[in-house]
Amino acid sequence: MEEDSNRIWMVRAGSGGYLIEEFLQNNIIAIGWNDMGDIPRSISYGEMRDLYVENYPDHTDGRTNQSTGQIYRFVVEFQIGDKVVTYDSGGRNYYLGEIISEYEYDEKYEFYQTRRVKWMKEPTSRDVLSTDSKNRLGSVLTIFEISQDVWNELLIHNPAKMSDEQIILEEKKEKEEEPNELEEIREDVESKSAEFIKDIIANLSWQDTEKLVAGILRAIGYKTRMTSKGSDLGSDISASPDELGLEEPRVKVEVKKRTKDKVTSQEIRSFIGGLRDFNKGIYVTTSGFSRDARYDAERATFPITLIDLDWLVELLLNNYEKLDIETKSLVPLKKIYWPL
């Protein structure tokens, strides 16, 4: 199987690869959605979507669109000569093959939508691949397209193409390079995650943004109280170590919900002037601070902390496990474990 112009597809062998033996023993690839029946080969995408809705009427639009796209690819876009990869998660091996038939509907298999495949005799071990290729092969979709460079790496590292000495050298090389590549991917994932969290916060109402800030302060250890400033002016947050606000530090918190303009020095001076009975201040904004605003905060008589969106996300993540349920519901997050 040499490099050519045909497309390359990943087709997963069911959840966790439990159908890998059926794929390999019968020389097939297959997808589920059995209720779709025998799909017409000349079907359009719109007709495919209508057929999907007819058979799975309870599915959401997002799930319908995603599933329709994958079925359409398998039935219509896959071509004889296209390359295909499937993964055995138990053995941590990728099997490489070539599609040798048009779409077929066959009820003798667990998944009825099938195509016949000519598999290579030996799989490529996941362990010898670069971290970049492992990452790009990690999508949970049943079907997705693989780039030529990933296919080339799978092919180059296949035992049929390598001597024992080459296999040993490649495994040693990848073990040496993997930590740095994993770190780069981790940093990229963290950066993207932070931006998505910013998107959620940016779309909160000003009331919910204030509730989020108050919830973070409570997680840090403060007692909070909302103080109304009027129907069109929002509210301040009063924070202190005790519920009555008698213990120091007594903190006044201003939350500015904005999308564009940075907080000005005049706004900071106005905030400082309104502290009065407080001995510390926190000013939170989703739009950032001007240089002059930061300067005025630094030279204020009372300690003033300025929190922009980046720092707000950092505080949220650092204290997320200690947030109450109401605050977590404003920005629902799921913990993901990463190898050290």
Residue 101 near residue 82 (C-beta atoms within 8 A)? no
Domain-embedded: residue 173: no
Q: Residue 265 is encoded by which pair of tokens?
A: 């020095």
Chain mean pLDDT for the chain: 86
Asked whether the beta carbons of 28 and 22 are under 8 A apart, the reply is yes
Residues 146 and 229 both lie in one domain? no
On whether both 126 and 19 belong to a single domain, the answer is: yes
Whole-number Å distance between alpha carbons of 188 and 131: 13
Bridging pattern class, strands 235-240 and 223-228: antiparallel
**Distance of alpha carbon 245 from alpha carbon 32, whole angstroms:** 61
CATH number at residue 247: 3.40.1350.10
The verdict on residue 325 lying in a domain is yes
> Do residue 145 and residue 243 come from a single domain?
no
Sort residue 212 into left (φ over 0), alpha (ψ -120 to 50) or beta. Answer: alpha
> Interior CA angle at 323 toward 309 and 325, to 5°?
115
CATH for 14: 3.10.590
Percent of the chain with pLDDT over 90: 52
272 part of a folded domain: yes
Pair (229, 120) in one structural domain? no
259, HSE (Cβ side, Cα atoms, 13 Å): 7
Q: What proportions of the chain, in percent to the nearest 5, are helix, strand and coil? A: 45, 20, 35
The encoded tokens of residue 305 equal 């902390």
- Structure token digits, residue 232: 């069109």
* Tens digit of each residue's pLDDT (9 = 90 or more) over 17-39: 889 999 999 999 999 999 999 99
- Contact between 212 and 327 under an 8 Å Cβ cutoff? The reply is yes
- The predicted-structure confidence for 161-200, as pLDDT tens digits, reads as follows 655 555 555 556 555 555 666 777 777 778 788 888 888 8
- Residue ranges making up the domain that contains 77: 8-162
Residues 106 and 217 grouped into a single domain: no
Helix (H) or strand (E) holding 305: strand 304-307
Average pLDDT score over residue span 284-293: 89
- Give the pLDDT confidence of 77-100 residue by residue, as tens digits: 999 999 999 998 878 889 999 999
What is the spatial distance between Cα 266 and Cα 272, in angstroms, rounded to a whole number?
10
- The answer to whether position 170 is within a domain reads no
Residue 180 covered by a domain: no
CB 32 within 8 A of CB 113: yes
> Do residues 288 and 280 lie in contact, with contact meaning Cβ atoms separated by under 8 Å?
no
CB atoms within 10 A of CB 15: 11
On the question of pLDDT at 299 being above 70, the answer is: yes
User: Do 56 and 76 touch, CB atoms closer than 8 A?
Assistant: no
How many separate domains does the chain show?
Answer: 2
Does position 285 have pLDDT exceeding 80, yes or no? yes
243 and 326, same domain (yes or no): yes
- Domain shared by 139 and 244, yes or no: no
Distances (CA, A) of 20 to 10, 92, 101: 13, 12, 19
Specify the higher pLDDT residue, 144 or 186: 144
268 shares a domain with 127: no
The whole-model pTM stands at: 0.59
Pair 19, 151 in one domain: yes
Asked, for residue 198, whether it belongs to a domain, the answer is: no
Chain centre to alpha carbon of residue 238: 36
**Who contacts 337 (Cβ-Cβ below 8 Å, separation ≥6)?**
none
